[in-house]
Structure 1
Amino acid sequence: MEKSKVYFTNLRTTSSMNLLQKLNRLVKKAGIEQIDFKDRIAAIKIHFGEPGNLAYLRPNYAKVVVDIVKELGGKVFLTDCNTLYVGRRKDALEHLDAAYENGYNPFTTGCQIIIGDGLKGTDEAYVPVPCGEYVKEAKIGRAVMDADIVISLTHFKGHELTGFGGALKNIGMGCGSRAGKMEMHSEGKPRVGKKVCVGCGTCIKICAQSAITVTDKKATIDHTKCVGCGRCIGVCPVNAIIPAWDESNDIVNKKIAEYSWAVLNNRPHFHISLIVDVAPFCDCHAENDVPIIPDIGMLASFDPVALDMACVDLANKAPVISNSYLAEQLTKAVDHPEHDHFCATHPETNWKVCLDHAEKIGLGTKNYELIEM
């Protein structure tokens, strides 16, 4: 397969070129103007950030993309779908409150915000996935599927279930309705290390499925209720909750690729990723840890697979921040090479599975040409 073009710009600025101007130039250089936006509706898929987390993308970046779409004659809205876990984004009302609290509103971004799967996460479209090995009919937020064009604007960071959260994670998992997210998460189910658990109950508060109980100061996860969302892993203060050590995480990654295919197939799409504030965990956390690597830059491409691959390669070349979660993990690492920052951060994950599967089903290619601006 021919190499996909991925455009990159670093974060250095001058008095005549700030970051927002650089993003505008990058997106246009990468070819977004090739898309016919005239009188068509574009959905910009973004993560508004869980309140308390400060690593999410600032709304200023979104406005740059919104303004470009408008310049090209399109109509545009920002979107995300409701979460599976308990938090501030589990229904559309709270989700909008959270977005506004984090600075996303029509006045700062220049467009409306629409929660893709409706008030309670049940407004979904059923999309056939003929190439799917695990997903035959994806459940995607209806507003996302009603759009004519899809643009992803992604904060590239670590992730406790998939190794990293890039464009495919933003699109596949992010555009799934609540039922869709349950389908993707239904494999990897964690367990509790009883010797480590202190019975604090933090995991109970974050579990939307009431799958966790504490008895005699030890937590237990009921796998008949657990959907494998992995939130309990991230919030445990003593690291007592352990992901399944089987192929389940790999299946989740493959389902994310198949859901991404369902979202993007048969309509124009364009993708932007920012490697900034690379926290070890997802922006779904109500907190963000010290970045694991320094800020790197902004990238854009028509190919989400190539874009994710380029982001990983750039991130793995970056030095590790000394007081970060990754630095701590490297002191424990035995089987994972230091040059793979994301395997070292989350040894139980294998991010390569998602990209390999996405390439297999025709979503893009890992083979790319990096064009630096």
Structure 2
Amino acid sequence: MEKSKVYFANFRATVQENIQQKLARLMKTAGMDTIDFDKKYVAIKIHFGEPGNLAYLRPNYAKTVVDSVKSMGGKPFLTDCNTLYVGGRKNALDHLDSAYVNGFSPFSTGCHVIIADGLKGTDEVLVPVEGGTYVKEAKIGRAVMDADIIISLNHFKGHEAAGFGGAIKNLGMGCGSRAGKMEMHSAGKPEVSAKKCVGCGMCKKICAHEAITITDKKASIDHNKCVGCGRCIGVCPTDSVKPVYDESNDIMNCKMAEYTKAVVNGRPAFHISLVMDVSPFCDCHGENDAPIVPDVGMFASFDPVALDQACVDAVNAQPVSRGSLLEEVEHVHHDHFTDVSPDTNWKSCLEHAEKLGLGTREYELIQI
């Protein structure tokens, strides 16, 4: 396979060109303007940041992408799907509040925010995964699939399960509905915490397979009938229905790649990663640890696999930041992300993505 082109710009700025202008130039040089945006709906997938975390991308970067899309006649919106865990983004109302608190409003970014899988994380589309090994139909947030074009704007950082979070994680895990996220994390079925359950019956009402019964004001799930759709997780008002996090990290990474294939297949897609504030763990945390390496720069490509590989290589080429978690751990893996989270294997995701035809790990880095 021919090498993919990945374009790079550092964070140096001048009086003539600030960072946002440089990002706009990077996107244009990388070929984003070759996409026909005219009157097209454009989903810009971004992580709005869990409240309390300050490592997420500033909304200024989102505005730069929005302005570029608008200048080419597109109709952009910022989007993400609800989280599987309990936090500030588990339903659309809390999610919007969190986005606005963190600065992602129509006034600051120039476009609206749409939570792709709806109020309770149950508004999804079943999308066939061409060539999928683990997933036959991905559960993707409806607004993402309704868009004509998808752009991923990623904060590249570490991750305690995937190894790192970049373009593929932003699209694969990020565009999965709550049930889709459960499918990626779990090989089994959800369970009920009797301590939290109030016996309201919402889970029983939404179950299409009569797998849930209410006894003595407590719900229980018959795993012989349950198909693992996860809709009960979305409707539970007390968060007593929980997924079982029993999938291996390698298989989770492969499922993420398959979900990404479902998201981008059959329509234009473009990917931007900012390697800055490289925290050791995900922006889903309600806190962020010190960056493990110095800021690197901005990357863009049509190939999400090549982009992720280029960002990994760039981070691994950096010195360890003093005072960071990376400085404290043993450096036996010759890989910053594996040193921070030794039980992870980020290569499994990119290797599987390559097999799926998502892209190639071979790339040509072009600095602007």
- Per the normalisation by structure 2, the TM-score is 0.85
Please name the residue that 2:96 is paired with: 96
Query: Do structure 1's residue 345 and structure 2's residue 340 form an aligned pair?
Result: yes
In structure 2, do the counterparts of structure 1 residues 41 and 137 end up closer, same or farther at CA, with 3 Å as the change threshold?
A: same
Match of 1:354 among 349, 355, 360: 349
In structure 2, do the counterparts of structure 1 residues 25 and 185 end up closer, same or farther at CA, with 3 Å as the change threshold?
A: same
Please name the residue that 1:227 is paired with: 243
Residue 49 of structure 1 aligns to a residue whose secondary structure is coil
In structure 2, do the counterparts of structure 1 residues 295 and 51 end up closer, same or farther at CA, with 3 Å as the change threshold?
A: same
Q: What fraction of aligned residue pairs are identical, expressed as a percent?
A: 69
Any residues of structure 2 matched to 1:249-264 within 5 Å, and which? Answer: 249-264=249-264
- Code of the residue aligned with 1:361 in structure 2: it is L
Distance (whole Å) between structure 2 residues aligned to residue 310 and residue 100 of structure 1: 32
Q: Give yes or no for contact 1:93–1:119 (8 Å, CA) kept in 2.
A: yes
Q: Give yes or no for contact 1:123–1:142 (8 Å, CA) kept in 2.
A: yes
The alpha-carbon deviation at position 115 of structure 1 amounts to 0.1
Query: Do structure 1's residue 328 and structure 2's residue 328 form an aligned pair?
Result: yes
Distance (whole Å) between structure 1 residues aligned to residue 177 and residue 305 of structure 2: 22
Q: Give yes or no for contact 1:188–1:248 (8 Å, CA) kept in 2.
A: no
The alpha-carbon deviation at position 325 of structure 1 amounts to 1.1
Q: Give yes or no for contact 2:42–2:76 (8 Å, CA) kept in 1.
A: yes
Runs of 4 or more, structure 1, over 2 Å off, are 207-213, 224-229
- Code of the residue aligned with 1:356 in structure 2: it is E
In structure 2, do the counterparts of structure 1 residues 313 and 211 end up closer, same or farther at CA, with 3 Å as the change threshold?
A: farther
Q: Give yes or no for contact 2:155–2:275 (8 Å, CA) kept in 1.
A: yes
Distance (whole Å) between structure 1 residues aligned to residue 17 and residue 244 of structure 2: 45
Gapped runs of 5+ residues in structure 1? Answer: 190-206, 214-223, 230-243
In structure 2, do the counterparts of structure 1 residues 210 and 297 end up closer, same or farther at CA, with 3 Å as the change threshold?
A: farther
Any residues of structure 2 matched to 1:113-124 within 5 Å, and which? Answer: 113-124=113-124
The alpha-carbon deviation at position 322 of structure 1 amounts to 2.0
- Code of the residue aligned with 2:276 in structure 1: it is V
Q: Give yes or no for contact 1:187–1:251 (8 Å, CA) kept in 2.
A: no
Residue 17 of structure 1 aligns to a residue whose secondary structure is coil
Q: Give yes or no for contact 1:46–1:153 (8 Å, CA) kept in 2.
A: yes
Query: Do structure 1's residue 184 and structure 2's residue 220 form an aligned pair?
Result: no
Residue 257 of structure 1 aligns to a residue whose secondary structure is helix
Distance (whole Å) between structure 1 residues aligned to residue 129 and residue 49 of structure 2: 29
Aligned residues: 325
Q: Give yes or no for contact 2:89–2:95 (8 Å, CA) kept in 1.
A: yes
Q: Give yes or no for contact 1:172–1:256 (8 Å, CA) kept in 2.
A: yes
**What RMSD in Å do the two structures reach over aligned CA positions?**
2.0
Match of 2:359 among 353, 359, 364: 364
Any residues of structure 2 matched to 1:22-171 within 5 Å, and which? Answer: 22-171=22-171
Q: Give yes or no for contact 2:191–2:243 (8 Å, CA) kept in 1.
A: no
In structure 2, do the counterparts of structure 1 residues 208 and 170 end up closer, same or farther at CA, with 3 Å as the change threshold?
A: farther
Distance (whole Å) between structure 2 residues aligned to residue 91 and residue 259 of structure 1: 21
Distance (whole Å) between structure 1 residues aligned to residue 362 and residue 316 of structure 2: 17
Gapped runs of 5+ residues in structure 2? Answer: 197-222, 224-240
Q: What whole-Å deviation, never above 9, does each CA across 1:39-85 have from its counterpart, x for those lacking one?
A: 11100000000011000000000000000100001101000000000
